[in-house]
Structure 1
């Protein structure tokens, strides 16, 4: 329905269920508009914006397949890879560019990419780009392309933000919705859905039994967080399944390695976050497991859309915990499903074996006879010249992790334990008072040196005691009544064989108690004036006058003197 409108140059808003061929709806029209490549034309004329790297690779593969006879030059541009190969391809000439907004803006900023000749702009999975916060980048890219262009917008869901975006940048678009309710009601559903209310600790056991069902082929397991992806992949790897993880913390080379191994059948289980829930078209995906309950109905639609594509059948299993029942009821009501009250399910529940076609007696570990997959280690990692920090997989995804590296034998170190500068042998010999001949020559010399040092130390202590004794006799000041006994400090290393100084000489005689000096008398304090009431402030000014000072005349005396002066002057006249 959208192809005739796109070939006619009309702006289109395409909405259809995932897996119905939206890529060819705009890809064929874009390749027809661009035409065959020319030597004098190096700037791109078609631009496709996608939200994720995996979707960019998927769209590129479809466009290369469609342009087999035309020979159009198609370039994939996204982050995580080296700039040099992309810059060389842009210099040699490109007809169509498929890329993510971030890397496109980087190349434009570096003046390696010119969008001035774009005649067709396509935004694939536009709602996902808005969810990831690409709206400012999209607006900047739209300002870089010419106003006279054909714009098409495709997505599986069409929220209000997409409608507002189409009104701003599309010119009288036609909304094409590829759904036929009557045909879908009559036909058998392509994807069989099961919803179970499970316990968190029992999910992995149900998944291990599901992977051994009679209809199980390639299986995708969706988790909410990156850490949950690593945990599930590690546990399934321990149970014997060929599994790999795909999430944002892995390098681009590791992500493409996992997807190639999954497409080639070297692994049959792919654990991923929602980064792989958009646009990844992998054939023969028989089962999709929502290990964590989706956040909304759009995420649920895109997750289960990885199976039952292009007329195939598939099975979608969703796990809902007790704390997620409210969220699931909102999704169930929005999609008009029949799973408002999921059945309480465990790994030993009989209906699990019946619904999913699991043979009776299946355990949670894959038998060794059925472990025929080559595994992730069989797929080589392509050197993409990745930028940024190096990322690594979890412990469960490392190839050959069973072979642990053996540490080299450590050379023993010769340690010599000492105590106070003496070896342990010398210390034991001194404590046991062994005869001199019992020790070897080196130990005997060491013991002699220690004894000489102790004798010198004891002699110095005796000399200090004598000096203190003489000093105290000459002092005239008083000392406290308690008399301190001065003893030499014993050495903790060893006891001497003989005492060089008698003990009576080390203990001084009690010192005489002298009379204390009289304390200085305190200065007399001035007399304090105590007022009769605490609220009365009394101030007495100090008397600063001396006998030689002439008292100043009072005001009354000065007035009397002034009155007498005129009279004297009149008399004199």
Structure 2
């Protein structure tokens, strides 16, 4: 079956064909014909099942070949990364039409988003907070919205956006066409659908790779030591056939630390996590998709926008908390029928989490294999060439302490060097309780000269020069009444 068979216009199908998107996924086969007819839809599907085109193509086609200016379609998503991903897919599908798409989300300047709205963009993809913000300033009108989509509704419920969603619904016409998508259907989402949708059809679609997960993805589970993980990762990254790789960490700090470590070892890595600005995250994601960076380090929230078909390896630097998160992470590889490898590190303290995932997903491996960077099975399991080490030949060499000291000594000149020497001597005194104990390698001065200087500074009765060549006597504290000067 092709998209044309589902009733999709030829110009839209041709636009998808430029990216080799030729055959619809199961959820697209079910939702597109109903969406084109104007039927309200509740789609129950996981991330990565192709639901974006399932709701996106009907929205685009129902707006017409040349829609008039002004917001006529609203697609609400829970995260910035998903907003960017959905926008990219919608821009691809509309590339042969005059329809324009704008992303509206926080963490980015208002001006560019407002300009696109004023220019007449017909489709808005956005997060609830920024949408309500612009609507409250009367910069975004939803009064003419004919098509509304709520994507990943359960995630928005988790993030506390349900009240915001209700406000957005209330600002749109009651006669709109509505589609809601969610991986699960908790009670509040069901209530929301009943309140704002008109006799919706419930469609439950399985993951296109579901049932093929074990065949398409090789799952490797290691019990690794925290201090050895980075070395193991660096060797895995040199495995034969290794392409784009996504590495998941539990925290933002761990992601930032790992990207610095891998770049220092000579690898081409980028990171997406909450401590980066939205612009930095978008640049990192764009570089990864374009192949300029072949390693992406991400936290779970930031990874929701990763939709790349040619990821060969996923590495769980820290084990996910539950089976669903594990499947979401592993599902970044082995996409579109390709094979992939998912490597998971389990810390000693996290064995109970692996036991839960192992039971739920029926891996049949209750005990992860204890693994170090020197373990022979690491090389055979993952196709790592024998003799591989954790630093690329192109990486900058690690400087020896003496080399750094020599650099410091040779570069010390003028006032700047004098200030640096004073700072180093001050640090040395603090470490040794006030006495300047040092070595020539540390400060660039000979130990004897340093000792003489310290002696001169601390010997009673010694003075300092005032520039005239004569010593200036030290001022002494007087004790008791001031003495009367003798008379001549």
User: 1:217 maps to what in 2?
Assistant: 243
Decide whether aligned partners of structure 1 residues 261 and 407 sit closer, same or farther in structure 2, where only a CA change above 3 A counts: farther
Once the two structures are superposed, the pairs formed by residues 53-132 of structure 1 within 5 Å of their partners are 53-132=80-159
Decide whether aligned partners of structure 1 residues 163 and 340 sit closer, same or farther in structure 2, where only a CA change above 3 A counts: farther
User: 1:21 maps to what in 2?
Assistant: 50
Q: Does 1:191 align with 2:230?
A: no
Q: CA shift at 1:291, angstroms?
A: 0.9
Q: CA shift at 1:339, angstroms?
A: 3.2
Q: Distance in 2 between matches of 1:295 and 1:425?
A: 67
Deviations 1:221-241 (A, max 9, x none): 111111000111111122111
Q: CA shift at 1:17, angstroms?
A: 4.5
User: 1:316 maps to what in 2?
Assistant: 342
Decide whether aligned partners of structure 1 residues 81 and 36 sit closer, same or farther in structure 2, where only a CA change above 3 A counts: same
Once the two structures are superposed, the pairs formed by residues 478-497 of structure 1 within 5 Å of their partners are none
Q: Does 1:297 align with 2:318?
A: no
Q: Distance in 1 between matches of 2:149 and 2:117?
A: 20
User: 2:233 maps to what in 1?
Assistant: 207
User: 2:181 maps to what in 1?
Assistant: 154
Q: Does 1:6 align with 2:45?
A: no
Give SS of 2:78's match: coil
Q: CA shift at 1:207, angstroms?
A: 0.8
User: 1:424 maps to what in 2?
Assistant: 463
Deviations 1:535-567 (A, max 9, x none): xxxxxxxxxxxxxxxxxxxxxxxxxxxxxxxxx
Conserved 8 A contact 1:287-1:307: yes
Q: CA shift at 1:461, angstroms?
A: 8.3
Give SS of 1:319's match: strand
What are the ranges of 5 or more consecutive residues in structure 1 without an aligned counterpart?
372-402, 428-439, 451-456, 463-499, 501-573
Q: Does 1:51 align with 2:78?
A: yes
Q: Distance in 1 between matches of 2:122 and 2:387?
A: 58
User: 2:300 maps to what in 1?
Assistant: 274
User: 2:276 maps to what in 1?
Assistant: 250
Conserved 8 A contact 2:154-2:189: yes
Q: Distance in 1 between matches of 2:353 and 2:470?
A: 82
User: 1:166 maps to what in 2?
Assistant: 193
Decide whether aligned partners of structure 1 residues 219 and 91 sit closer, same or farther in structure 2, where only a CA change above 3 A counts: same
Q: Distance in 2 between matches of 1:91 and 1:340?
A: 58
User: 1:306 maps to what in 2?
Assistant: 332
How many pairs are equivalent?
A: 401
Deviations 1:399-452 (A, max 9, x none): xxxx99x88741669xxx999xx993899xxxxxxxxxxxx9x969x99xx9xx
Q: CA shift at 1:158, angstroms?
A: 4.6
Q: Distance in 1 between matches of 2:337 and 2:317?
A: 25
Decide whether aligned partners of structure 1 residues 423 and 328 sit closer, same or farther in structure 2, where only a CA change above 3 A counts: closer
Q: CA shift at 1:161, angstroms?
A: 5.0
User: 2:65 maps to what in 1?
Assistant: 36
The more displaced of 123-132 and 217-226 is 123-132
Give SS of 1:61's match: helix
If the length of structure 1 is used for normalisation, what is the TM-score?
A: 0.63
Q: CA shift at 1:28, angstroms?
A: 0.6
Q: CA shift at 1:68, angstroms?
A: 2.2
Decide whether aligned partners of structure 1 residues 184 and 459 sit closer, same or farther in structure 2, where only a CA change above 3 A counts: closer
User: 1:478 maps to what in 2?
Assistant: none
User: 1:139 maps to what in 2?
Assistant: 166
Q: CA shift at 1:7, angstroms?
A: 1.4
Q: Distance in 1 between matches of 2:380 and 2:276?
A: 37
Structure of larger gyration radius: 1
Give SS of 1:278's match: helix
Conserved 8 A contact 1:37-1:73: no
Q: Does 1:410 align with 2:439?
A: no
Give SS of 2:163's match: helix
Give SS of 1:274's match: coil
User: Pick from 376, 394, 409: which aligns with 1:350?
Assistant: 376
Deviations 1:242-271 (A, max 9, x none): 111111111122112211221222221111
Deviations 1:61-117 (A, max 9, x none): 111111122221211111122212222221221211011111111110110111112
- CA RMSD between the two structures: 3.4
Q: Distance in 2 between matches of 1:278 and 1:424?
A: 69
Give SS of 1:295's match: coil
Conserved 8 A contact 1:277-1:302: no
Once the two structures are superposed, the pairs formed by residues 367-386 of structure 1 within 5 Å of their partners are 367-368=393-394
Conserved 8 A contact 1:19-1:310: no
Give SS of 2:374's match: coil
What are the ranges of 5 or more consecutive residues in structure 2 without an aligned counterpart?
1-29, 397-406, 420-455, 476-481
Give SS of 2:39's match: coil
Decide whether aligned partners of structure 1 residues 458 and 354 sit closer, same or farther in structure 2, where only a CA change above 3 A counts: closer
Conserved 8 A contact 2:309-2:336: no
Conserved 8 A contact 1:42-1:90: no
Q: CA shift at 1:129, angstroms?
A: 2.2
Decide whether aligned partners of structure 1 residues 258 and 15 sit closer, same or farther in structure 2, where only a CA change above 3 A counts: same
